[in-house]
Amino acid sequence: MNPQLSKAIFGIGIALSVASVASVYVTMLATQNQNLNSQANPTTSQPPAPSNSSTGISTSTTIAIPNGAAVQESSLDKEYYKPGNIKITSNSKVTWTNQDIAAHTATSGQSIDSSDSGQAFDTGTITPGSSGSAVITGSDEIPYHCTFHPWMLGILQITPAASAANDNRNTSVQS
């Protein structure tokens, strides 16, 4: 192959690589800016956390998505949601707070390919520094995952509200 042609092809490859990295960076900045603008100018109000009518106690739980969760096999001891396995009562509002630098989701189902993916709940995209919520119903166990990072898995263990009278209903986990 001609050395000049080889150099030209190499240069084009470098230029494309740089353009790709710049595109990802600009997209990330635009997403963060959009998130900041939506927080500064909210157009919808969030409904209050559901409450157990028999006790009047709010049933809300916060689960953190820790910094580094987008990296598979990271130093998080494979716990990409904190806590990764949590007990809640039926009709609880669960909020996932994204402390990572990458966008995530909390979507019901074992994986994005499972037939029940997103049927029980789906927070949609949770951008860095923001949160997403869902009201969880039922009386069973619901596995969930991140649609962008399939190794991120968690489990919600749901108990009927009446049988959980002695459980701690307001749980907040931050890292």
Average pLDDT score over residue span 48-61: 50
pLDDT of 167 strictly over 70 = no
* Residue-range domain boundaries for the chain: 1-45, 60-172
Name which residue leads in pLDDT, 148 or 161: 148
Q: Is 173 exposed, middle or buried (0-12, 13-18, 19+ CB in 10 A)?
A: middle
Is there a contact between 86 and 156 (Cβ–Cβ < 8 Å)?
yes
Q: How many CA atoms lie within 13 A of 79 on its CB side?
A: 11
The whole-angstrom separation of Cα 89 and Cα 139 is: 8
Residue-level length of the chain:
175
Average pLDDT score over residue span 159-172: 55
pLDDT of 6 strictly over 70 = yes
**CATH fold of 60-172, please?**
Immunoglobulin-like (2.60.40)
pTM value > 0.75: no
Average pLDDT score over residue span 33-54: 44
